[in-house]
Structure 1
Amino acid sequence: MTTTKAKVVYSPAFTDGAEFQIPTFRLLKQDGKLYKSAKTPDLDKEKALRIYKAMVTTRILDERMLAAQRQGRLSFYMQCTGEEAAVVGSAAALDDGDMIMAQYREQGALAYRGFTIDEFMNQLFGNELDYGKGRQMPVHYGSKVLNYMTISSPLATQIPQATGYAYGQKLAGQGECTITYFGEGAASEGDFHAALNMAAVHRVPVIFLCRNNGYAISTPAAEQFAADGVAPRAYGYKMDVIRVDGNDVLAMYEATRAARRLAVEHNRPVLIEAMSYRLAAHSSSDDPSGYRSKDEEAAWREKDPILRMRLWLESKQWWTEEDEKQFQEDMRREVLETMKRAQKRSPPPLETLITDVYDEAPPMLAEQFEKLKAHIRRYPDEYPKSARHVKGGV
């Protein structure tokens, strides 16, 4: 039974919600100038440059690693290209103790928090220094130190997990929140609705950030939902919501700061819909030319979020062409040199296959592991030396 005091009518009165038009929050023009009525966020030079460098680092990393995948040096990759402002701008608005639960394009959030190029490369190549011990696909990053939950492949599973984690944060009462990122395609999963309903009912400090980048793999947004995007769904859960220009890093930063205050100070979950565009393919396995035009992509390239922020920084005399040139050169060199080091590192020891889940490997796993070693000893020529990397040999 609802407790809402609804108006009573005496003839059928239907509504489809079309009267609710959610505006788009925007601060920065493409030329780097603020809109006339816009107010500059409370953002000092040091933090602004940290945001910008994380965006550029993400772009360079994406370019180099996609090339590595095409060369056969890497099995798989997913780019954040075109969505750097939505990811880095929002991550910069959080406190370091806040939990990030990502989908798979949020490497910019990790870069902002200080994840090194070495750490990126170790995960991508699954070597012995990879925190996941080579068990995950590339781009499935995670960092306990940086409060970035390890990414999992199934779509949308992180959304209800974020609600549950935020409920724990509410009980802990230490003024922290959780942000979870996902695309508009993931918002069509049942997990999305379950998560929002639970968050609203239990009033937990969680920010749901939907990157509406236009496509769920090859399916355009127009074929995913009939309503005005994802944002109106918040009304059904009586949840605070805002729509933001996802290519405007200042707007993303300011909107997420305000969302965080609502979440932490009032235990009110918030939905942010960041309107952006996926300039890259869905993944290295995808060819977007089959479902969208070059003209469409070109139009969005003119709205490049990195260029927009760079022009703003230059207008404030916080960044110069020489700064840009030097940073680009240094970062490209670091990415290339670090990739070479990561490729040369040994894979995780074979025994890591049966560690971490139990304090001591149970007899069944230990027996299976001995059979595996015996199998490799019997057919040594069928396995590379890396497969025999185990303490004491096989």
Structure 2
Amino acid sequence: MNKADIKKVVLAYSGGLDTSIIIPWLKENYNDPEIIAVSGDVGQGTELDGLEEKAIKTGASKLYVLDLTEEYVDDYIIPTMKAGAVYEDYLLGTSHARPCIAKGLVEIAKKEGADAICHGCTGKGNDQVRFELAVKHFAPDMPIIAPWREWSIQSRDEEIDYAEAHNIPLKINRETNYSKDKNLWHLSHEGMDLEDTGNEPLYEKPGFLEMGVSPIDAPDAPTYVTIDFEKGIPVALDGEKMSAKNIILKLNELGGANGIGIIDIVENRLVGMKCRGVYETPGGTILYKAHETLESICLDKLTMHEKQKLSITFAELVYNGLWFSPLREALSAFVDKTQEKVTGKVKLKLYKGNIIKAGVWSDYSLYSEDIATFGASDYDQKDSAGFITLFGLPTKVQALVDAANKK
């Protein structure tokens, strides 16, 4: 990539620390190109306030704000949830937002005739892979600029120094300088005191948690919630028909108020290192539990067990930035087939960080109370004798052979 050929750059812009200083840095180091800022709205909420003024004031020619919320939920979150995909206890919040945003970036880059796409991901993280693999999928010849792999800045403190020297306004300070990522599904916290695994997260400290409260501060009375599913997709909440997006937003409120979905994990990054993060996923945690509960009565044993195995592969693909891969698409086709009869209703009780099952119903339930009952039923218990004889035949033969060879 010849810097002199870069006349117009599309920048993945959040208005956070990294992307705020990238605009003047590009101007200084790439011969003053036109910079078009693009922010993908995946439910960041107030983080989008004042973004256009800030982007233009720091040197961008314009800002696109793409409303990706419905697409993000329907095309990324729900397929991942239906797959039951969990990466090392993490419900994949940032992981599936990045390919969605990158797809929008490429669309704007093509529309504007940009010479390159730029992102603010660090060279230590996973997001650089997620963004760039998605860009390669939609625009394989598009040059990608990653300042963290070029500049001499080594820390977030040095980023703040750069911002102050260039009069760039920031929403953070050196005392609240957590690295955060927020969307309608989750909020992640990394850095600062969390870098020491011996430190307990400050859940009760005002301002640390943003999507809910600590279980300690949750109400003493439980909250009940009922979710309806059709073919694995949430369609109603407490009897009211809603879009999947609005169900997630409402579950965020209910879950957050009850201290649901807060985890503290050390995970294995794609780039080889371990990292520690605190994640808030209140609505998503409830939705996963409800979906899993419904599947427990609707899926047969072999399908459920195979799906559980493949969910690990699905999660690794998403985490590793391979959303737009043939294998992920093939796994989603398998998942969709398994969901054809995952239709029904689940009732859950939310209490101080806990999700307690309170009932599940489906016309496609494979659970038969008549067969499973401890009372009288049509099940003939004598049938089990022949089953055990045949099932145990290999064990019996092996024991006889072993005994004969010991003589």
Normalised-by-shorter TM-score class: under 0.3
Q: Which protein has greater RCO, CA pairs closer than 8 Å, 6+ apart?
A: 1
TM-score, normalised to structure 2's length?
0.25
Greater strand share, structure number: 2
**If you compute each CA radius of gyration, which structure gives the higher value, 1 or 2?**
2
